[in-house]
Amino acid sequence: MTSIGKLGAMQQLMKGGKMMPANVISDDSILVKKIVSDHNPEGLDYDVKPLLNIVEDILRRSTLTSSEHSSGELSNIDHVEDRNNLPAYTNMLEALSVKIDRISCEISYKILSGVDAHSTTVSIFEMLTIYKWDVKLVLALAAFALNYGEFWLLAHIHDTNQLAKSMAILKQLPGIMQHSTSLKPRFDTLNDLVNVILEVTKCVIEFNDLPVHYISQDVSAYNVAANHIPVAAYWCLRSIVACAAQITSLTTLGYEIFTSNDAWELSTLAFKLKSIVDHLKNQLSICRKHIDDEMDAEAYKMLRELFSRPHTDNMKIIKALIYSQEDILPLYDGVSKKRASLEALRRKNVLLLFSGLEFSTDELLILEQIYNESKAHTKRQDNRYELVWIPIVDQTSEWTDQKQIQFESLRDSMPWYSVYHPSLISKAVIWFIQSEWKYKNKPILVVLDAQGRVACPNAIHMMWIWGSAAFPFTSSKEENLWKDETWRLELLVDGIDSEILNWIKEGKYIFLYGGDDPEWVRRFVKEARKVAQATQTPLEMVYVGQSNKRDQVQRVFDTIIREKLYTHSWSEQSMIWFFWTRLQSMLFSKIQLKQVDDNDIVMQEIKKLLSYDKQGGWIVLAKGSRIVVNGHAATGLQALAEYDLMWKEQAANDGFETAYKDHYGKLHSVANPCCRFEFSHSMGRIPDRLTCPECRRNMHVLTTFQCCHDDNVEEDFFVSSVSPPTTI
């Protein structure tokens, strides 16, 4: 055939693909109106994914690479598993192979007959009216893959197989492959369009597989996608026809007719489909998020119901909280450094430690000490207790290599079980521990008994207060410990400083004090020593610092050492941290047990001490174990400074203790400070009501915003002493 003859034949062959009216192209609704009206699926569900896998394997391999185009060899030639004999594949092909052949023949016939691309596309849809949209697309792709794959198979083996060589000659392949270098950009454009057709098809399949029972009619993204899928299906089939026409023109008319206009048409269709697939992916993303939220809400509801029912053992609860599948070992044994199954926790009392990746060294060391001491108890009770660290991370943020290293470092430092990876913990579980157990990024320790019942919603506070003496860390044990507790010095310093415990046994007077002002500390030590000498009182003094302001506290330590002040001090920051952590835990423990009434002396004194600390300074005077004065720093110093003028005579008659206590009380009643407590949301359990430990009135509830860059901000809660408003 001459070039003029080929050109005329090609114009007849391809006339429909590029001669569609502009108004038809611009209005997709007109294009698909007939297709939608004829769409009448029989209700049969075909799982076309196995068929699509075969089709995709053909299409992915049917392309040239830059290094292979000179020889005509296919790219992506690697070993794949032969799955053609699997039931999923054979059953699908038996049901649909005839339809695939008919569509392939229809496409070839229409193209060779010069029928325009739109009409060809509509005729194919008419053959597929009884199938759902995803099935239509996969069948049309399979029909195209028959001819497209045959073309590239012959191109691949025609040099080594005589039968293939003869068939290739009939299809003019040797001449085409000789010019593969110049034709490669055209093949690349064709391949790009095939890839985007696959992408749209997968989107439609994914949409069809959505669990619609999680989607209500008011989910607009689902409705938008459902209405857009016929348009996507039309342009996919329209593009399949265009690709088939390009291959047909090559094998019937030769490579000379493969012009830049052909590439332009394929690029235009690819651009159109990319726009469609971006739109579909966006709607699918919205639908998936909605479904995930619904499924998480359902899982959260099931989790709450699970905890409301009795169980013979704890495995249903443990699996629901950690990992419910059987495909992996979800635990990491901190002793053997190997993975472990949840069976290690069956019928045991389990302590669940929830925290983020920020776990202080002080917390971890003390927790490990308590854990080891508690394990000594369990040996006498058949080792029925285990501790499991469950890391809680922000699942919306990227999991980086740095986070992985941080997680593994923390996990490997723990001697107990850990969840193998934070991704095993579902969003529903995180919701549950936040709402039911008040987890707010601070570590909590939930105790479950052998049947999975909650024995304590957060045992971390009693651990800090009483250590292993709180074993087995149940709420009833916590209540009993408080019943036996009184407001005494051992409660404040037990387990921290053995020297103070010795002073208590000797019945000495002891001043615990704290503040961030070196000048106040200097004057307070001087006045206290002066009064002790004047009254011949055996007095010991310990500087305990403050709950925050670490730098200022360090400056006070430096002053004490440099000036050799006659006072004992805690130079280790871990001791100061533990003192204040225990004191704050006493408040939180009382709140958790709902023991915040005015008649609870311990609770009121704890609130006072925390309040004085936040204002700037505090003092505690004790005689042995018995606490005499729990007061404010400024008032405590003033009372000492006024010894000669105001209470020297009383001290001579009644003794140092009574005289100082009385004079402090007089000064305090004049100052009359009231307290202010500010609870951070990270604290978790916030009381509904608190009374002022000074005036015993109900405190007003306010909302405070404070800059997180303030170094003085305490993460758990803030308390300070303020003067009450003046009444007129």
Q: pLDDT tens digit string along 642-675? A: 999 999 999 999 999 999 999 998 998 776 566 5
- Look up tokens 């110049």; give the residue: 182
Rg, Å, the chain Cα set? 40
User: How many whole angstroms separate alpha carbon 202 and alpha carbon 298?
Assistant: 28
pLDDT confidence tier of residue 80, bands split at 50, 70 and 90:
very low
Contact 7, 103 (CB under 8 A): no
pLDDT confidence of residue 597? 66
Question: Any residues with CB less than 8 A from the CB of 13 and at least 6 apart, and which?
Answer: 111, 112, 114, 245, 248, 249, 252, 253
Of residues 688 and 633, the one with the higher pLDDT is 633
pLDDT confidence of residue 691? 63
Percent of the chain with pLDDT over 90: 43
Give pLDDT tens digits for 141-200.
999 998 888 877 877 777 777 887 787 777 766 666 666 666 777 888 888 999 999 999
What is the mean pLDDT of the segment spanning 247-257? 69
The size of the chain, in residues, is 728
**Exposed/middle/buried for residue 290 (C-beta within 10 Å: 0-12, 13-18, 19+):** middle
What is the mean pLDDT of the segment spanning 110-117? 88
User: How many whole angstroms separate alpha carbon 425 and alpha carbon 405?
Assistant: 18
Cα-based distances in Å from 75 to 83, 139, 176, 667: 21, 24, 17, 91
Give pLDDT tens digits for 384-401.
889 999 999 998 889 999
pLDDT confidence of residue 702? 57
Give pLDDT tens digits for 577-587.
899 999 989 98
Question: Any residues with CB less than 8 A from the CB of 215 and at least 6 apart, and which?
Answer: 222, 287, 290, 291, 294
Closest CA to 423 of 388, 395, 389: 395
Neighbours of 118 (CB within 10 A): 19
Q: List the strands of the sheet with 385-391, edge to edge.
A: 338-340, 331-333, 417-419, 385-391, 349-355, 444-448, 454-456
Give pLDDT tens digits for 120-136.
999 999 999 999 999 99
Question: With 70 as the cut, is the pLDDT of residue 379 above it?
Answer: no
Parallel/antiparallel/unpaired status of strands 626-632 and 539-543:
unpaired
Give pLDDT tens digits for 464-509.
999 989 989 999 999 999 999 999 999 999 878 889 999 999 999 9
Torsion angles phi and psi, residue 9, rounded to 5:
-65, -40
First-to-last CA distance in the chain?
112
DSSP line for 14-58? HHHHH---HHHHH-HHHHHHHHHHH----S-----HHHHHHHHHH
pLDDT confidence of residue 400? 93
Neighbours of 393 (CB within 10 A): 16
Question: With 80 as the cut, is the pLDDT of residue 53 above it?
Answer: yes
pLDDT confidence of residue 458? 94
Question: With 50 as the cut, is the pLDDT of residue 627 above it?
Answer: yes
CA dihedral 322, 323, 329, 332 (to 10 degrees): -20
pLDDT confidence of residue 540? 94
Mean pLDDT of the chain: 81
Give pLDDT tens digits for 496-542.
888 999 999 999 999 999 988 899 999 999 999 999 999 999 999 99
Dihedral sign for Cα atoms in the order 367, 372, 378, 380:
negative
pLDDT confidence of residue 342? 94
Question: With 90 as the cut, is the pLDDT of residue 332 above it?
Answer: yes
Question: With 60 as the cut, is the pLDDT of residue 267 above it?
Answer: yes
